[in-house]
């Protein structure tokens, strides 16, 4: 899928007292665009996943370079480039987002949009799980219940599929680790600069992919129709615009709202897979998805409770006389 920032955790920051309408519009716009990505990729047929991701990397890099030029942000970007640790970290982030993009486009073009949606439904739970494994964070009882339900859901889905839902797991874990890496760099790297560095690292690989396609099946860019060429040329904007909308929303909205709205994208993808593409949904798959949604409800309840507790503690600290 797209290069999205990590899953937000509403319990980790104070919340503003009001909700920005512009922020809501930006958030809904970003996750709505991510939700309809399967439709965009399907419209790129007969281009295959290797060619699509190759163009996506190169055109995203070009689009970001244009944005940096228009906003006159080359000087702060050059400062980032001189930070070797940041550059190497973004290189690793680039590898993870490349795996994510390639898997997602493959899933879309092979009629597995529902399983791709599952990956982003379980991503918040995977992020919590990775916090325990990698960051040595401690979960409370409610969070462990959510993780346990999600594990049962994966087992049920594996039985239903006849194999592990590997597409969903690759998407969830690649994006989960991507989120951890982005968390390490924090606010030092803005959305455009981050995507620029990531795609710059991936540019040689993208060129190699396009050369391989040209030498085998042949590139579709400019050979199918003007409409097809236009859609392919928009790959950079399609990647960067939702990311920029997300960045604008995150500056204006309480994190708890971002936490709720993040489910728009996989829900829309799920509807596209089931309603538009009519992918099969046997009973065991409905049970598996139902368990995933139950785990998300439990996790969301815990996050909301954490926010309320933080607010109450902050109010009591202000009211307490010195």
Task: Select the highest-mean-pLDDT range: 2-6, 123-127, 300-304.
Answer: 123-127
- H helices, E strands: number in the chain: 14, 0
Residue the block writes with tokens 């368990």? 291
Mean pLDDT (the chain) is 84
Q: Could you report the per-residue pLDDT of 12-30, keeping only the tens digit for each?
A: 444 444 567 788 888 888 8
What per-residue confidence (pLDDT) applies to 12? 43
Residues 146, 291 contacting (CB under 8 angstroms): no
**If we measure between CA atoms, which residue out of 161, 47, 57 comes closest to residue 108?**
47
pTM of the model: 0.83
Mean pLDDT of 108-130: 88
What is the torsion angle, in degrees rounded to the nearest 10, for the CA atoms of residue 167, residue 169, residue 173 and residue 179? 70
Q: Which CA distances in Å does 255 have to 99, 132, 159, 322? A: 27, 21, 36, 31
Residues 38, 275 contacting (CB under 8 angstroms): no
Query: What percent of the chain shows pLDDT beyond 70?
Result: 87
Q: How confident is the model at residue 204 (pLDDT cuts 50, 70, 90)?
A: very high
What per-residue confidence (pLDDT) applies to 303? 73
What per-residue confidence (pLDDT) applies to 319? 57
pLDDT at 89 over 80: yes
pLDDT at 160 over 60: yes
Selected residue with higher pLDDT from 254 and 255: 254
Distance, in Å, from the CA atom of 289 to the CA atom of 1, rounded to the nearest integer, reads 20
Q: What's the chain's length in residues?
A: 322
Residues 37, 1 contacting (CB under 8 angstroms): yes
Mean pLDDT of 259-271: 85
Domain ranges within the chain, ordered by starting residue: 20-141+165-281
Record the tokens describing residue 179, joined without a space.
Answer: 């989120």
pLDDT at 250 over 80: no
Mean pLDDT of 148-167: 85
């Amino acid at each position: 899928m797209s290069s999205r920032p990590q899953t937000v955790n509403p319990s980790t920051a104070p919340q503003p007292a009001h909700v920005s309408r512009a922020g809501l519009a930006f958030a809904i716009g970003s996750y709505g665009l991510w939700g309809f990505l399967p439709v965009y990729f399907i419209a790129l047929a007969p281009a295959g996943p290797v060619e699509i991701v190759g163009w996506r990397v190169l055109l995203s890099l070009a689009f970001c370079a244009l944005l940096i030029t228009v906003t006159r942000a080359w000087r702060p970007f050059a400062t980032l480039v001189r930070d070797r640790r940041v550059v190497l970290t973004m290189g690793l982030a680039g590898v993870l987002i490349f795996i994510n993009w390639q898997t997602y486009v493959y899933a879309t073009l092979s009629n597995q949009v529902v399983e791709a949606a599952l990956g982003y439904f379980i991503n918040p739970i995977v992020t919590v799980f990775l916090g325990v494994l990698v960051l040595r964070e401690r979960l409370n009882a409610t969070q462990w219940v959510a993780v346990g339900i999600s594990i049962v859901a994966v087992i049920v889905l594996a039985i239903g599929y006849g194999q592990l839902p590997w597409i969903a797991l690759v998407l969830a874990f690649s994006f989960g680790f991507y989120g951890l890496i982005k968390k390490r760099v924090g606010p030092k790297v803005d959305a455009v600069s981050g995507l620029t560095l990531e795609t710059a690292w991936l540019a040689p690989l993208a060129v190699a992919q396009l050369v391989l396609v040209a030498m085998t099946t042949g590139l579709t860019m400019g050979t199918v129709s003007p409409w097809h060429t236009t859609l392919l040329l928009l790959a950079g904007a399609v990647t960067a615009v939702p990311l920029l909308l997300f960045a604008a929303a995150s500056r204006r909205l309480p994190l708890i709202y971002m936490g709720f709205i993040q489910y728009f994208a996989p829900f829309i993808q799920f509807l596209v897979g089931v309603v538009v593409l009519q992918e099969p949904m046997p009973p065991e798959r409905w049970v598996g998805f139902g368990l995933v949604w139950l785990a998300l409800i439990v996790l969301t309840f815990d996050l909301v409770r954490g926010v309320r507790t933080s607010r109450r503690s902050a109010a009591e600290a202000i009211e307490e006389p010195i």
